């Protein structure tokens, strides 16, 4: 899945209250029934929730003193679902059955034993309740250090639910699903049935799987031996989104069984599961559309299933639809049969073996354009009025499909590949196998209104989702802790493939920019290793962040550069071949690399230092003669020693690459591996300067001694092009990040960018504008307007020549065109040169033509922003927004509308987007971020988020990429203690889960760092700027 952000970069369920002892259980020593044990003791967590029966874990692990105290009572509280087979009950001593088959009569011995047991149980319970160190309620012990962690939850009907873990048991494995879906797009409801063929890997009585939001009407069970359907009991546990099928007989290891579940549900109004949207066609008629988005945890809301990545199976999908609709699923359509009620039933071929999150189906009115590629039919689908915008996507997909098949040496395994533009879609795109789904803006390209940046975006997103057909679909991570294997690889291949077959787009510039921004996030204390333990739905959602995507991709780039492209390709081909249709962990990838390197380098050992630690190293270089002394420590943004990590605990194996003035740059890069805290590199000759981390392929920041910084600054002033544009951008990024920490004087960072008057590449200028832009925004938001103006004047002086050279056209290479966008946007935003005058002239001409006159696409956003500053211009843009078909043009208009200085209009925009009628809700996070960047809107954006928090998390889910963007976008420019306290108090007053969200902790840390930056640098700026 590709998360969507304008910068391109589940709530707990309530429990039903039931009495602990509403139904008396059979008394069974659960520890003596390991193979049919309804509870697995490992990894079960204590949950402070109501309506759950607390039970001790009875595994063979060691117990502490508290555990031993409770052991006997635990055995008395055990619930058995294993008493339904006479064969398993014969060993129940003490009971006699009468000849007539009447109820058995207990013996005197049994009565005595039972009485003793009851007395013991009551005594133990009283002792527990009277313990002074722990207060018990229906939610359990609230002693923080209590060890009572294993829980027997209650189902909604009051019975004990036979599973207490978030992860499903592995006793049952699905083999095949037959899914029948009948949606009603008018009432936004659907009926469904799913038949699941399963195999028992271990003996058990229960089948535990996922289901949420379903009204289950009937459940039947059939064994392969008897072939007789039996209606069975179902237990529901909404908090874990789990159901338990209580089998009528013991399920035996190695045997196959069939489960059929009939149900009904609402089509979701959020962006998760099987959800519905409405849109207006070219005749302004309301249309209905339904699509799926299952990753990570929403397949269970569309049909009961084993909704974890490792539970792979095949799928047969059948969809009933009205005649005007087209139905699509992962596989080619096998048949379409008219039904007696005027409906049609489409059946799709049985799928390849895949995870539930990759299942997809769509029902809507669509048209398509197709092309055959070596036996695979590639089709681009869109709503009928936008079918003219799919040509670029089709051409791009064909080229990328052929490239990936050749590079991976594995053919795409399906007979068709559909790419569908969904009218309203939260993510940028989703890689469902054979049925890729996209936002309209990330798939459609309009020649008249799409800019070069739009073209690059569409190309990158398609490349990302196609890469997933191998990385993620063919080979899948076992669990979400290894999400980076999916997303890091797809992101890396996205940029790698564009460099190979769309080199003119200079996608390396975007990758470089993404790495800079990702490292800024990774330098926070609230960061996380890309391989992190996750359990809850919120934790899983939070894994979809820039670290899983861009840090993962950056580490692969570093590894490819270090090993060579041939070795890298050989290793990933081996990895894909060895694990096709399987589920893997990170070690499986590194084992493939080690096999290829023949252990000349222990890739696993090296890469674990990058995947199991958060953050990245700061490499400090000291040059003395022909000797480089280098040392590593963790780069950490906070200067407060009390929260800085211990240096001793962080060590990376770092590929140290460097270039010098002594050799031809393009032909010579030296590389060595630093796997200790410090090391020495001997140069082969005397040099004037050394630049470490050549082309910024390494994931680290470099700090030099004063003389070496001075030598690099002098070289940039003499002739910057001795260094690559990547290296120049890298130096700008590193020195500003170091200046923020006080390791380099801020004035030296500005000395370095003094060379920009001679710069003509996009990457260095973009990074310089980003770094100085952050300073400007902090100064502006604190009211230091004079200082902010002086900063702009200084930057303008450096870039004046380049700004004056720009034309209001779409001419030049893609990189030159993107540089034009950046420069003119900067000039018009700060009223420099005659930028606003030229933009207003174009805007007035466009308005005079009623929006029919073509504007240069690259400067369209800048023109619209200038025009939106007037009342009539803003109103005209809003009217055009509602009537045009091009999503590219709509986005440009929306950014201009959200850049207004009128707070009433800004609030209306956010409110309208949340409601979703005039402006789609998918646009909301981008609007909030744009509003939050401006001086008039930065407080308003935060107020809006506070007021509407409950609605936001209901629509987008706690922890999701969109919620991460909303929290960051509304707080990232706060820099006062009052704002810190306000944000902290707001989230503390939400649920504990909300306050502990990584994005919340990150937002608080960023505010603290902004405060720290101003304390460190404000006086210096005032003195010399």
Query: How would you classify residue 166: left for phi > 0, otherwise alpha for psi between -120 and 50, otherwise beta?
Result: alpha
Q: Between helices 924-933 and 887-897, what is the axis angle to 10°? A: 40
**Burial class for 501, CB neighbours closer than 10 Å (0-12, 13-18, 19+):** middle
Cα–Cα distance between 998 and 732 in angstroms, integer? 29
Question: Closest Cα partner for 891 from 297, 445, 380?
Answer: 445
Q: What is the DSSP letter of 972?
A: T
Q: What is the DSSP string of 656-716?
A: EEEEETTS-TTT--EEEEE-SSEEEEE-SS--S-EEESGGG-SSSEEEE-HHHHHHHHHHH
Q: What angle in degrees, to the nearest 10, is found between the helix axes of 762-781 and 785-805?
A: 160
Q: How far apart are CA 355 and CA 238, in angstroms?
A: 22
**Is residue 465 flagged as an active site residue?**
yes
Residue 428 CA: distances (Å) to CA of 2, 423, 447, 457, 722: 5, 12, 21, 10, 38
What is the end-to-end Cα distance of the chain in Å, rounded?
45
- How many angstroms separate the CA atoms of 634 and 644, rounded? 9
Q: Shortest CA distance to 420 belongs to which of 462, 451, 448?
A: 462
The per-residue b/e assignment along 114-135, b for 16 or more CB within 10 angstroms, e otherwise, is eeeeeeebeebeeebeeeeebe
Tell the burial category of 856 from Cβ atoms under 10 Å away from its Cβ (0-12, 13-18, 19+): middle
Spell out the residues 6+ positions from residue 707 whose beta carbon is closer than 8 angstroms to its own. 623
Q: In what order do the strands lie in the sheet with 416-422?
A: 367-373, 376-382, 416-422, 435-439, 429-430
Give the DSSP per-residue string, 937-954.
Answer: THHHHHHHHHHTHHHHHH
CA dihedral (877, 879, 885, 890) in degrees, to 10, reads: 30
Instruction: Point out which residues pair with 235 in neighbouring strands.
Output: 244
H or E element: which one contains 607?
helix 603-611
The one catalytic residue in 431, 465, 541, 889 is: 465
**470 and 581 Cβ atoms separated by less than 8 Å:** no
DSSP state of 164: -
User: Nearest CA to 712 among 684, 675, 678, 738?
Assistant: 738
In 3D, which of 929, 944, 928 has the Cα closest to residue 986?
A: 944
Task: State the Cα–Cα distance between residues 762 and 750, nearest whole angstrom.
Answer: 18
Give dist(CA 370, CA 759) in Å, integer.
44
Distances (CA, A) of 436 to 76, 281, 283, 421, 923: 52, 23, 28, 9, 20
Q: Is 176 exposed, middle or buried (0-12, 13-18, 19+ CB in 10 A)?
A: middle
Q: What tokens appear for 104 in the block?
A: 């058995």
Structure token digits, residue 450: 């799409």
599 conformational bin, left if phi > 0, alpha if psi -120 to 50, beta if neither = left
CB 494 within 8 A of CB 464: yes
| Catalytic residue positions, numbered | 465
């Amino acid at each position: 899945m590709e998360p969507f952000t304008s910068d391109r970069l589940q709530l707990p369920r309530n429990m039903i209250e039931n009495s602990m002892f509403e139904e008396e259980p059979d008394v069974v020593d659960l520890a003596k029934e390991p193979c049919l044990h309804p509870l697995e003791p490992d990894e079960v967590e204590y949950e402070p929730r109501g309506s759950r029966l607390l039970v001790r874990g009875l595994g063979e692990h060691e117990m502490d003193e508290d555990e031993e105290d409770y052991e006997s009572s635990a055995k008395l509280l055990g619930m058995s679902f294993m008493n339904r087979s006479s064969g398993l009950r014969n060993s129940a001593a003490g009971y006699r059955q009468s000849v007539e088959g009447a109820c058995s009569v207990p013996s005197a011995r049994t009565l005595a034993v039972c009485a003793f047991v009851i007395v013991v149980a009551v005594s133990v319970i009283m002792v527990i309740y009277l313990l002074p160190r722990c207060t018990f309620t229906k939610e359990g012990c609230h002693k923080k250090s209590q060890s009572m962690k294993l829980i027997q939850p209650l189902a909604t009907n009051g019975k004990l639910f036979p599973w207490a873990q978030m992860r499903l048991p592995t006793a049952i494995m699905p083999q095949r699903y037959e899914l029948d879906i009948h949606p009603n797009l008018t009432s936004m409801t659907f009926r469904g049935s799913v038949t699941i063929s399963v195999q028992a890997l271990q003996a058990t009585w229960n089948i535990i799987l996922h289901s949420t939001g379903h009204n289950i009407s009937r459940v039947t069970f059939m064994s392969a031996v008897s072939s007789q359907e039996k209606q069975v009991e179902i237990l529901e546990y909404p908090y874990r989104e789990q159901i338990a099928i209580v089998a009528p007989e013991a399920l035996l290891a190695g045997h196959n069984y069939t489960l059929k579940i009939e149900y009904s549900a609402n089509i979701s109004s959020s962006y998760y599961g099987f959800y519905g949207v409405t849109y207006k066609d070219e005749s302004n008629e309301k249309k209905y559309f339904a699509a799926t988005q299952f990753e990570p945890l929403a397949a269970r809301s569309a049909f009961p299933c084993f909704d974890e990545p490792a539970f792979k199976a095949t799928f047969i999908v059948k969809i009933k639809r009205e005649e005007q609709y087209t139905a699509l699923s992962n596989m080619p359509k096998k048949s379409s049969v008219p039904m007696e009620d005027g409906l049609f039933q489409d059946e799709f071929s049985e799928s390849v073996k895949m995870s539930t999150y990759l299942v997809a189906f769509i029902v809507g009115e669509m048209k398509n354009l197709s092309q055959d590629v070596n036996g695979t039919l590639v089709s681009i689908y869109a709503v009928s009025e936008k079918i003219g915008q799919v040509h670029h996507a089709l051409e791009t997909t064909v080229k990328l499909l052929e490239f990936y098949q050749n590079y991976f040496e594995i053919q795409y395994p399906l007979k068709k590949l559909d790419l569908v533009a969904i009218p309203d879609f939260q993510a940028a795109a989703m890689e469902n196998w054979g049925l890729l789904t996209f936002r309209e803006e990330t798939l459609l390209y309009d020649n008249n209104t799409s800019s070069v940046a739009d073209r690059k975006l569409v190309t990158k997103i398609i490349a990302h989702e196609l890469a997933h057909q191998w990385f993620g679909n063919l080979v899948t991570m076992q669990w979400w802790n290894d999400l980076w294997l999916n997303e890091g690889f797809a992101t890396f291949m996205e940029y790698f493939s564009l460099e190979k077959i769309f080199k003119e787009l200079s996608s390396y510039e975007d990758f470089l920019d993404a790495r800079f921004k990702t490292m800024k996030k990774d330098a926070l204390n609230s960061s996380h290793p890309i391989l992190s333990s996750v359990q809850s739905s919120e934790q899983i959602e939070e894994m979809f962040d820039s670290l899983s995507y861009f840090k993962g991709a950056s580490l692969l780039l570093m590894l490819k550069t270090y090993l060579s492209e041939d070795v890298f390709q050989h290793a990933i081909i081996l990895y894909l071949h060895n694990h096709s249709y399987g589920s893997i962990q990170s070690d499986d990838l590194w084992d493939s690399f080690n096999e290829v390197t023949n252990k000349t380098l222990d890739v696993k050992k090296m890469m674990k230092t990058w995947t199991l630690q958060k953050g990245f190293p700061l490499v400090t270089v000291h040059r003395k003669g022909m000797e480089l002394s280098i040392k590593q420590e963790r780069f950490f943004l906070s200067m407060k020693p009390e929260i800085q990590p211990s240096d001793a605990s962080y060590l990376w194996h770092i590929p140290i690459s460097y270039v010098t003035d002594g050799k031809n740059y393009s032909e010579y890069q030296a590389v060595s591996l630093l796997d200790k805290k410090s090391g020495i590199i001997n140069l082969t000759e005397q040099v004037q300067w050394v630049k470490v981390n050549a082309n910024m392929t390494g994931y680290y920041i470099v700090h030099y001694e004063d003389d070496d910084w001075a030598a690099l600054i002098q070289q940039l002033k003499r002739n910057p092009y001795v260094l690559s544009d990547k290296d120049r951008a890298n130096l700008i990024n590193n020195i500003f990040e170091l200046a923020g920490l006080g390791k380099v004087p801020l004035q030296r960072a500005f000395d370095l960018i003094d060379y920009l008057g001679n710069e003509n590449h996009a990457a260095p200028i973009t990074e310089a504008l980003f770094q100085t832009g952050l300073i400007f925004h902090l100064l502006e938001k604190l009211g230091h307007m004079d200082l902010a103006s002086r900063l702009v004047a200084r930057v303008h002086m450096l870039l004046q020549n380049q700004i004056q050279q720009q034309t209001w056209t779409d001419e030049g290479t893609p990189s030159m065109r993107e540089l034009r966008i950046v420069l003119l946007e900067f000039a018009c935003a700060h009223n420099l040169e005659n930028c606003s005058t030229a933009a207003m002239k174009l805007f007035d001409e466009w308005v005079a033509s009623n929006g029919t006159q073509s504007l240069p696409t690259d400067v369209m956003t800048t023109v619209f922003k200038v025009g939106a500053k007037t009342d009539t211009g803003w109103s005209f843009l809003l009217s055009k927004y509602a009537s045009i078909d091009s999503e590219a043009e709509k986005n440009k208009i929306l950014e201009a509308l959200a850049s207004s200085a009128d707070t009433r209009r800004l609030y209306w925009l956010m409110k309208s987007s949340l409601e979703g009628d005039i402006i789609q809700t998918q646009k909301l996070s981008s609007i909030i971020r744009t509003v939050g960047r401006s001086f008039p809107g930065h407080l308003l954006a935060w107020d809006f988020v506070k007021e509407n928090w409950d609605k936001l998390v209901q629509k987008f889910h706690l922890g999701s990429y969109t919620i991460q963007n909303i929290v960051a976008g509304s707080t990232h420019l706060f820099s006062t203690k009052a704002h810190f306290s306000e944000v902290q108090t707001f989230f503390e007053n939400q649920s504990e889960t909300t306050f502990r969200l990584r994005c919340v902790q990150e937002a608080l840390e960023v505010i603290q760092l902004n405060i720290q930056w101003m304390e460190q640098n404000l006086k210096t700026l005032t003195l010399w700027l």
